[in-house]
Amino acid sequence: MPESNPIEKNGRFADLVLPLPLPGVFTYSVPDTLRASVSTGKRVLVQFGKKKIYPGVVKEVHNRKPADYNTKDILSVLDKEPVVLPVQLRFWEWLASYYMCTAGEVMKSALAGGLRMEGETGLAYKPKTETLLSLHPSVCNREILDQLPSQLAKAPRQQELLMSYLRLSGYTGTAITAPEIPKNLVLKNAEATDAQVKALAVKKILIETTGQVSRLTAPPAEQKEISMLNSFQQEATDSIKEQFETKDVVLLNGITSGGKTEIYIHLIKETLEKGKQVLYLLPEIALTTQIIVRLKHIFGEQAGVYHSKFSDAERVEIWNRVLSGADDSYRLILGVRSSLFLPFSDLGLIIVDEEHENTFKQFDPAPRYHARDSAIMLASMHNAVTLLGTATPSVESWHNALSGKFGLVNLTKRYKEIELPEIIIADTRLARKRKKMQSLFTPQLLESIKEALDNREQVILFQNRRGYAPYIECADCGWVPVCKNCDVSMTLHKKINRLSCHYCGESQKPVACCPDCSSQEIKTRGFGTEKIEDEISIFFPGARIGRLDLDSVRKKRSHEKIIGSFEAGKLDILAGTQMIAKGLDFGRVSLVGILNADNLLLFPDFRAHERSFQLMSQVSGRAGRKVKRGRVIIQTGFPDHHVISNIVENNLEKHFSEQLAERKMFRYPPYVRLIRIILKDKSHDVVTRAAFYLAGRLKGLFGSRVLGPEAPLIGRVQNRHLMHIILKIEKGANHSRAKDMIASETSHLLSLPAYRSCTVIPDVDPV
């Protein structure tokens, strides 16, 4: 922000956040004609540079004239009332500072799509309208109204149209004005046409108007009473409320199927009764489907849902219903990480369910924020409290609870005290050695699937890879098709008969013969969810099989249909990725099969064992939730692995003890904070030299805290070569100072002609 002169008595200025990757705010003059309408939180249009018109959000209106440049005028004001609240602007500022980006980049992510403006045309959002019918004021009288049917006796179609309107509106002529009814509804009810409407309009009996309608209308949910908590849930709830007296954040470590959602519902009810708002965060859109139904049954129209599958216009309407504070406003929002940006004015409680999930972290674009950590900060800005819930806490949250930073509540009994599932380890290496593997399946898994289907129970099969096969290969020469834009093999999707890159979206048809040696021995290697769906149908041809992964839920509401079908018993077997591991509640699932645990265990990352434990424990928790004890079969080539042992024993304490000891020894979170610096360039040579130059300068400042540079596992994405530098910063260090030093060195690098083509991206707290 430029330095300012003392306040000018006759001047008036506004500091704006513009959607640009440039630091600070931008000061503009407020013309006399706009002084009454410019205020904090409104959107305005301004010229930036010589020609470009940009939207901006007013951060502050003041009388301080910038000392070092002449200000341009604000061109127009787009809002009658503010659409962004002061607390949101403070939150944007914190996000920009902590995650090393600009307030403009935060603004681009924060504003609902339809609130972003398009050039000089103003709003991208257009309200939905429909034509309404009402009675002309001249006939809004009981006596006149009673005479109208007989006057229309010679025009029976017009008469029926009028009677249809009266039936639907319930109007009897006693009120001064008649209700407005959707025209289409009246026409359909009367089996009439526009011609009859026009005829009655000429006779001054009906009038047509245009009215704004909501895109969010849905049939009202049947209201149900809130369920009583059992003794374990009540004890946990009382403990949470007690700890909120002294702690702003509480971790609820609740066993799978322990009834955490019921605890949440009771806490939500108490918060809403105090007149406060509630935000209920989930890591996946798929999870909102089941839970919003439960919330709507209890909280009715106070409950809304917010995620990226809504259209831009629908998201604007949700934004406005949170902002309005009217009787029909949303007081409870269930959503994914982007719901943090909604215009809450008085939050009382934020629930972060499945707090351990890495999908709470945004990877691209900036801000690269973690929704769990950001939720804690947002809650503090509202003097609210945060509840973190999970059956498998993140190592960081567990450490914060043990150290006393967070409160900790344990819920150790499953609902109705159903036993945890029986976990069976199926040794794939031994099965292959004895030639007992059948396609992707061990004998134990196939026998258990048959038993479940015979008992009319449901089965979940988990594999954390989508597509049919991770790659294809020439059996003779070893040729593998690789994406032309990325250093990664292309995944086979059999149903659409395409090889696709999961990094850039490039796709091509599979080849029939090898382009290197002309061999026709092209084989698939590995397997994804599509292949599981395909193969299992061979063994159980009568079974109804579905798939839940990123490919199957691309269309709007498709995830709802798949989950709804499985929940209603229309599917027997559901194959899926990690989307099925998170918090879904299916009463008839008796068996869960984890097809390839080794992919998770052997991934080269310091969090691999933590994620393996979380994912396998979570997906195991889908089995046997309501009626009987479930069964889980884990297929692995490493049956004696300590992570597998901890899952079998459900030994959370041992898991954390091992992880914390390892992290402390090698200086990883939670004992240090990480900042990953990502460098990109079209030239491998340029990005390599830039990375070594920057790392050298950073090592001069931070010493051995700097690791790298090195190329990541996938060294080229979308024709940009990548290099990574990692900084480990102690918890007690001045992180703001460290970030300023990194930003300064990055600016210096990009000022050098040899490296101006590089892109440098800081990623704070990478996952």
CA distance 41 to 54: 16
- Which helix H or strand E contains 561, and what residues bound it? helix 558-567
The residue ranges of every structural domain in the chain are 13-121, 137-204, 231-413, 422-467+529-662, 469-526, 672-764
CA distance 121 to 75: 12
For the chain, what percent of residues have pLDDT higher than 70? 95
* Burial of 347 per CB tally in 10 Å (0-12, 13-18, 19+): buried
- Give residue 122's pLDDT: 47
- Give residue 445's pLDDT: 97
pLDDT at residue 240 above 80? yes
164 and 181 in contact (C-beta within 8 Å)? no
User: Do 13-121 and 422-467+529-662 come out as alike in CATH topology?
Assistant: no
Neighbour-count burial for 220-245, b at 16+ CB within 10 Å, e otherwise: ebeeeeeeebbebbeebbebbeebbe
CA distance 620 to 51: 58
Q: List the beta strands (DSSP E) in 625-671.
A: 631-636
Which one has a higher pLDDT value, 134 or 213? 134
Beta bridge partners of 659: none
Grade residue 191 by pLDDT with cuts at 50, 70 and 90.
Answer: confident
Residue with tokens 């526009």: 194
CA-nearest of 315, 359, 308 to 464 is: 359
CA distance 764 to 767: 9
| Six-digit token string for 720 | 């940009």
Grade residue 220 by pLDDT with cuts at 50, 70 and 90.
Answer: low
Q: Which of 63-77, 99-113, 210-224, 240-254 has the lowest mean pLDDT?
A: 210-224
Q: In what order do the strands lie in the sheet with 422-427?
A: 422-427, 631-636, 589-594, 458-462, 573-576, 545-548
343-390 tens-digit pLDDT: 999 999 999 999 999 999 999 999 999 999 999 999 999 999 999 999
CATH of 422-467+529-662, one of 3.30.420.40, 3.40.50.300, 3.20.20.70, 2.60.40.3080: 3.40.50.300
Average pLDDT, the chain: 90
CA-nearest of 111, 174, 163 to 141 is: 174
Single-letter code of the amino acid located at 627? V
CATH code 1.10.540.10 for 231-413: no
CA distance 222 to 239: 32
| Six-digit token string for 481 | 């098709």
| Six-digit token string for 125 | 């959002």
- Give residue 582's pLDDT: 67
479 and 517 in contact (C-beta within 8 Å)? yes
Thinking of the domain 13-121, which architecture would CATH place it in? 3-Layer(aba) Sandwich (3.40)
Q: Which is it for the CA torsion 236, 238, 240, 242, positive or negative?
A: negative
* Full 3-state SS string of 43-73: EEEEEECCCEEEEEEEEEEECCCECCCCCCE
CA 328 and chain centroid, separation:
25
578-621 tens-digit pLDDT: 888 766 778 889 999 999 999 899 888 999 999 999 999 998 88
- Give residue 125's pLDDT: 64
Which one has a higher pLDDT value, 309 or 692? 692
| Six-digit token string for 134 | 């009402």
pTM for this model (two decimals): 0.85
Q: Domain 672-764 is in which class? A: alpha beta
Q: Where on the phi/psi map is residue 100: left (φ > 0), alpha (ψ -120 to 50), or beta?
A: left
699-758 tens-digit pLDDT: 999 999 999 999 999 999 999 999 999 999 998 889 999 999 999 999 999 999 999 999
pLDDT at residue 577 above 70? yes
